Chains A and B, each alone.
Chain A
């Protein structure tokens, strides 16, 4: 079975067949030993063991913690890759980059805004953040209000 593991901008082509593992064309002797049912594994190489914690995330994402570092990767099989469509973020969409409290909304629907203008202020964990207009345009939607608690990814302002 062929797996494409994407970590940041790097891609690893890994072939796993029975006990044989080939990484980018190079055979390695590694296997995974389950230590418990909560995601703790031993990655066993020829001469070395490494403790790893592995957890599945949504949409093919996998989180690995290894030696104090956390790696979030996407794993793909050729079939899965074909199915997936790419969709870029819309230019005038301003979403909450973190869950938090909407401290102020500075624009109304129909208002014209300049690029870089502060549209709203969001607060999360002792920190305030100004949400600025990514483009110049007209505000078409403001589905939030002062004092609202928003989730990460919630639409704050739509500019067209």
Chain B
């Protein structure tokens, strides 16, 4: 089965690696901005697709698949992965779409529809209307809403198109802001309201289905450490989760998976409120950025299961084959400027040294010389560690993060390290709003800063000595002669 990977960056490489292990030839697609990107050379062949936004063009990708003779298409995450029209076009072209059926993607993509299905399947769904916010707000609408309330794009994903309104006065402005962002991101400005759950945790359940009635639960992930609704640290298992809550989450995810007759990988996302109640929020019909933590605790290669299912139509696993062991944590290394309100940074990577050692995994597409631009997202790498328990995993992550050396652009590495050392994270007691109040220390530790200062002064001194002529103005021909003598036979 020849597989075209309709993605870029670390996830494209990650998928291609499993393809290679399974003996499947791979095809990469690459844009103008990715002519020298590593995913292009990881594949057996590469097809040029044009402008940076070409990863979003259905026809372009289908043509590339046809031209290369690929039999299957893996969408990765982001880009076209949650686009039902794309999945449909892949299947219409006689190719295998490695993911859920198009109609499942369609249902999952309409968050309001997903809520209805979940409610019908008996899942606890957040209260609120399943109807969209009307274009013209009726008189008294703003006063009929309970605050604070989230305005969410029905076509949303990746944390986009979400705004928080704290009062009736703010509502219309936030609706407009969410609509604007949703329209630009998803070409659909439908929004709905969802009550804000204070002190909530974000816990999600990984499912895998065969599309023929069999659905497996592959454990949960805790993803409450988020900034601007972008996950930053994920772990499995969720710390301190009562076994009864865990079982309730698994049952709910299984029920929804069965209701959708789910095929391939999916993630059912829940909020856990302070009383321990679970609430369904949405289902993501694709592989997730944070899937490696599940792989680390279950010992399974999720992409391998996806590919095997796509090839044979059957799952290789049964629920009793799945057991989680130990704890895994993922940290997302982003090109962003912590000192300037976490703005995305751009530049070029001038040096990379990735960490290593036992039970450490780095998924990245980094290389020295890599341009970091604004065409794509700011994820540089993911670091995933495993330990026998959460404490061991945290200790390992604290060892690993300082080993990761990235020059050229600012990153969140030091921020992540401080998070790992914060009492709330260590105790496992944190909510989705934790980062709003978490204030990182911006300055490096005093010893390290002093060391850096010494290095810089010595560096500046070296540069100066090299560029200055010798103080006495004389050249040293004898030195050159001696050197030539030494190098004889080597030149």
Residues of A within 8 A of B141 (CB): none
Pick from B343, B450, B455 the residue with the most CB of A within 10 Å.
Answer: B455
Q: CB within 8 A of B453: which of A23, A77, A99, A125?
A: A23
Q: Is A52 an interface residue (CB 8 A)?
A: yes
Check A62–B343 contact: CB distance below 8 A: no
Q: A1's contact among B181, B378, B406, B464, by CB below 8 Å, is which?
A: B464
Are B458 and A127 in contact, CB atoms less than 8 angstroms apart? no
Restricting to A58-108, which residues have a CB under 8 Å from any CB of B?
Answer: 62-73, 75, 77, 97-101, 103-104
Give the docked Cα–Cα distance between A74 and B324 (Å): 50
Q: Across the interface, do B444 and A69 meet the contact criterion of CB distance under 8 Å?
A: yes
Residue B93, interface by CB 8 Å: no
Q: How many residues of B contact A (CB 8 A)?
A: 54
Is B410 touching A70 in the complex (CB atoms < 8 A)? yes
Q: Is the interface of A mostly helix, strand, loop or mixed?
A: strand
Instruction: Chain B residues near A100: list those with CB within 8 A.
Output: 344, 374
| Interface hits, B430-463 → A, CB 8 Å | 442-444, 448-463
In the complex, what residues of A have CB within 8 A of residue B226's CB? none
Min CB gap B470→A, angstroms: 14
* B→A interface (CB under 8 Å): 158-160, 180-181, 184, 228, 230, 340, 343-346, 350-351, 368, 373-374, 376-378, 401-408, 410-411, 413-414, 417, 442-444, 448-464
Q: How far is the CB of A80 from chain B (nearest CB, A)?
A: 10
User: Using a Cβ–Cβ cut-off of 8 Å, how many residues does chain A contribute to the interface with B?
Assistant: 57
Residues of chain B within 8 A (CB-CB) of A129 are 343
Contact (Cβ within 8 A) B378 A62: no
Please determine whether A75 and B457 come into contact, CB atoms closer than 8 angstroms: yes
B158 engages A126 (CB within 8 Å): yes
Please, which residues of chain A bring their CB within 8 A of the CB of B181?
Answer: 128
Whether the pair A97, B340 counts as a contact (CB closer than 8 A) is yes
In contact, B456 and A67 (Cβ under 8 angstroms): no
Interface residues of A in 112-129 (CB under 8 A from B): 121, 123-129
Q: Which of A7, A12, A23, A54 contacts B459 (CB 8 A)?
A: A54
Cα–Cα, bound, A31→B191 (Å): 61
Q: How far is the CA of A32 from the CA of B406 in the complex (A)?
A: 20
Q: How far is the CB of A67 from chain B (nearest CB, A)?
A: 5
| Cβ of A43 under 8 Å from chain B | yes
Determine whether the beta carbon of B452 is less than 8 Å from that of A30. Answer: no
Does A70 lie within 8 Å of B406, measured CB to CB?
yes
Give bound CA distance, A29 to B280, whole Å.
61
Contacting pair A73 B374 (CB below 8 A): no
Set A56, A69, A121, A128: member contacting B463, Cβ < 8 A: A56
Residues in B with CB closer than 8 Å to A3 are: 456-457, 460-461
Instruction: Enumerate the 4 nearest inter-chain pairs by beta-carbon distance, A residue then B residue, closest first.
Output: A68-B402, A14-B457, A125-B344, A12-B453
**Contact for A71 among B452, B459, B462, B464, CB less than 8 A:** B452
A/B interface sample: 7 pairs, CB < 8 A: A12-B453, A62-B460, A65-B405, A67-B402, A71-B452, A98-B343, A98-B344
CB-nearest residue of chain A relative to B454?
A: A30
Q: If the complex has contacts A3-B461, A98-B344, A98-B345, are A53 and B351 also in contact, measured as CB distance less than 8 A?
A: yes
Chain A residues with CB under 8 Å of B410's CB are 70, 72
* Chain B residue with the shortest CB-CB distance to A23: B454
Contacts of B464 in A (CB 8 A): 1
Closest beta carbon of chain A to B296's beta carbon, Å: 21
Of B351, B376, B462, B463, which contacts A125 at CB under 8 A?
Answer: B376
The residues of B that contact A14 with a CB separation of less than 8 Å are 453-454, 457
- Taking a contact as CB atoms under 8 Å apart, the answer to whether B452 and A52 are in contact is yes
Given contacts A39-B350, A73-B456, contact A68 B401 (CB under 8 A): yes
